[in-house]
Structure 1
């Protein structure tokens, strides 16, 4: 199988290339505007605005992996070229509006006879499968909330000072991931409510997840693809995605996000302002413990009924997902590429492309060295709680 990784010189793309090379013998080509820092055997210079060059390079391969963001700009460009070239496609799109645009190519993909799996990263991606697994333990589903981020509470002043200094430097570095965070936290974003798609301002609603043994973390609602796709596979009343930077920074972001939403600040200006605020007083990120931290940095919680009784279920990954986010994002995409022949024809979100339990089991075999594919926790209530106004700000 000949695989081409679009954006293969970037943070996630490089990880995809490394993982494909480690876990397969397939021929892998890197396509990007600039060559990777570490030389590779196959590199093709490519500007995505050159449609003829894009079509030519994709048509020479069997599968294209798209890691080139922003996906609202380049997602459909690359997928359309894959459809025209009749080449299978995998991406790591984490933009909800781009997800809708990609899903709209389903009929064209079916006519071309190709398989396209979108949003197959860590979140979305693994979180989608965990949402399915949590929901499968309920006979009737009210809410599915996928979640991500380091939600721990309980940093002393010394720890907060070190952490805050590093976070401020990361913000100041201007990484695209932080621009994406600000855009999705300041926007009206698609969610699923009362059995239908609607839009809501992100970041205003806060939630606490608490396991049956008291492990806990706080998150805020943000724009993400899971609420766009999961209700198409799992019947439910409500679906949201919730995330966190850390509990103090999350609150610090609120007035800045209001200004971004109003058009008074650009996302880059907002990031710079937050970096300055945190750098000026990093110890302010210290917090009082509310319980032990959650066992994993991603997961999903489903609420509803089982045998007519109230029941809530949390699904966590069976193994760790606390390494580099570029690596954690790349790995599910690699599993999808290796198993692309098992996906149905058309454009699919992770949960409709592969069976959830089978995918997580396959992932665990490759990356978790014998760990179970997922961990479950359940209780009658209290695993997912929306915070009242006093605790949100």
Structure 2
């Protein structure tokens, strides 16, 4: 089989490296707008299966033609609120399956609406398979399977501002998800909440991170998990930046209108406040403000419900750098899909709709990732032990 990797940025590089190290694809085409930098990275990997092509995802004809040369594609081209839907539509037109890391709440339902079209084409699309969404969804699925009646899922995230491997698409996504009214799932229905303002909650993460105050953000998990687990009455996704004081700065920028994408003229140059902020914040990791802040972020997934008629909960925690925690799950998902190791094929799915969480965790553990499962604060297992359980 042949696979196309769209995007060779911070997330894409990790996925490409993982494919080179762990997959048996006969050809891996790496496509990006910056051919020179892509070729440099491919030379570093030294795998003869890797080929480089130019790709511009806004060129529909060219993209469909490139996709027509392969059996499967992955995409890390963001921000996904701009490019995610177009890439999926191109894959359907080309008649190939696709896995992406879409993390934007507003485009995710539009992608899922293409389910019947993908099923008719006989292709499978897995959308949102990174760290969050992605690993979080599958940990929530595992927790739901641990209980007889899953009722609530609470997802907590800590994102390090010190990590220099985020990339501009991540910063655009951050601003997109942290302002305005965003959907969450509460009491069996969708409600709007103030992003990065409402829902303040203090949550403890494993060392060295400790306790953080989290706030609602716009993310896909509250929109997808209730689709596959009808017994759920509440799903939320909350986040803190590290260091936490950045939240006040970002909220202040939004209140001042400095995240506008509308271009203004500055000394003869047209530039939007948002584009400036993304460029500036891309260098923030070098600032003294972030000295001593770890590069790793963290996820925490808590599933609450009933087991044997009694209240019960399962909690999962894991830590990783953003590019590793995002790119590796994407590669694993593509390899599972190529091998036919999915629970259902033909259509568009969030990860929890078609992947076995145990197979996913097993592959993550093979690559050195680990985490903890805690059942009722007493039964604690490392991820590497979970794959041995029936």
Q: What TM-score do the two structures reach when normalised by structure 1?
A: 0.78
Cα deviation code 1:263-322 (max 9, x no counterpart): 699444666898999999839x999xxxxx9x98112012333344333331124xxx42
Residue 268 of structure 2 corresponds to which residue in structure 1? Answer: none
The 1:313/1:260 distance shift into structure 2, 3 A limit, reads farther
Residue 298 of structure 1 corresponds to which residue in structure 2? Answer: 299
Cα deviation code 1:322-362 (max 9, x no counterpart): 23x12221101111111102232110100012122232223
Contact 1:221/1:241, CA 8 A, preserved across alignment: yes
Contact 2:205/2:317, CA 8 A, preserved across alignment: no
Report how far residue 4 of structure 1 moved: 0.4
Contact 2:130/2:329, CA 8 A, preserved across alignment: yes
Residue 226 of structure 2 corresponds to which residue in structure 1? Answer: 231
Report how far residue 209 of structure 1 moved: 2.2
Residue 332 of structure 1 corresponds to which residue in structure 2? Answer: 329
Cα distance in 1 between the residues matched to 2:79 and 2:30: 18
1:89 and 2:98 are equivalent in the alignment: yes
The 1:221/1:286 distance shift into structure 2, 3 A limit, reads farther
The 1:3/1:13 distance shift into structure 2, 3 A limit, reads same
Task: For structure 2, list consecutive stretches of 5 or more residues without a partner in the other structure.
Answer: 44-49, 263-271, 379-390
1:62 and 2:71 are equivalent in the alignment: yes
1:180 and 2:173 are equivalent in the alignment: yes
1:38 and 2:41 are equivalent in the alignment: yes
**How many residues get paired?**
349
Report how far residue 10 of structure 1 moved: 1.7
Q: What TM-score do the two structures reach when normalised by structure 2?
A: 0.78
Residue 313 of structure 2 corresponds to which residue in structure 1? Answer: 312
Q: Secondary structure at the match of 1:38?
A: helix
Cα distance in 1 between the residues matched to 2:257 and 2:195: 12
1:119 and 2:128 are equivalent in the alignment: yes
Equivalent of 1:190 in 183, 197, 201 = 183
Residue 375 of structure 1 corresponds to which residue in structure 2? Answer: 373
The 1:110/1:129 distance shift into structure 2, 3 A limit, reads same
Cα distance in 1 between the residues matched to 2:68 and 2:176: 34
Cα distance in 2 between the residues matched to 1:251 and 1:175: 21
The 1:42/1:71 distance shift into structure 2, 3 A limit, reads same
Cα distance in 2 between the residues matched to 1:134 and 1:17: 30
Cα distance in 2 between the residues matched to 1:212 and 1:270: 31
Residue 161 of structure 1 corresponds to which residue in structure 2? Answer: none
Report how far residue 210 of structure 1 moved: 3.8
Q: Secondary structure at the match of 1:14?
A: helix
Cα distance in 2 between the residues matched to 1:299 and 1:95: 19
Cα distance in 2 between the residues matched to 1:212 and 1:24: 32
Residue 206 of structure 1 corresponds to which residue in structure 2? Answer: 200
Residue 131 of structure 1 corresponds to which residue in structure 2? Answer: 140
Report how far residue 207 of structure 1 moved: 1.5
Contact 1:311/1:379, CA 8 A, preserved across alignment: no
Greater helix content: 1
Report how far residue 6 of structure 1 moved: 1.0
Q: CA RMSD in A?
A: 3.5
Cα distance in 2 between the residues matched to 1:296 and 1:266: 27
Cα distance in 1 between the residues matched to 2:23 and 2:281: 42
Residue 253 of structure 2 corresponds to which residue in structure 1? Answer: 256
Residue 159 of structure 1 corresponds to which residue in structure 2? Answer: none
Report how far residue 215 of structure 1 moved: 5.8
Residue 359 of structure 1 corresponds to which residue in structure 2? Answer: 360
Cα distance in 1 between the residues matched to 2:324 and 2:284: 29
Contact 1:360/1:374, CA 8 A, preserved across alignment: no
Task: For structure 1, list consecutive stretches of 5 or more residues without a partner in the other structure.
Answer: 152-163, 288-292, 381-393
The 1:78/1:314 distance shift into structure 2, 3 A limit, reads same
Report how far residue 80 of structure 1 moved: 1.3
1:2 and 2:2 are equivalent in the alignment: yes
Report how far residue 25 of structure 1 moved: 3.0
Cα distance in 2 between the residues matched to 1:84 and 1:184: 29
Report how far residue 379 of structure 1 moved: 4.7
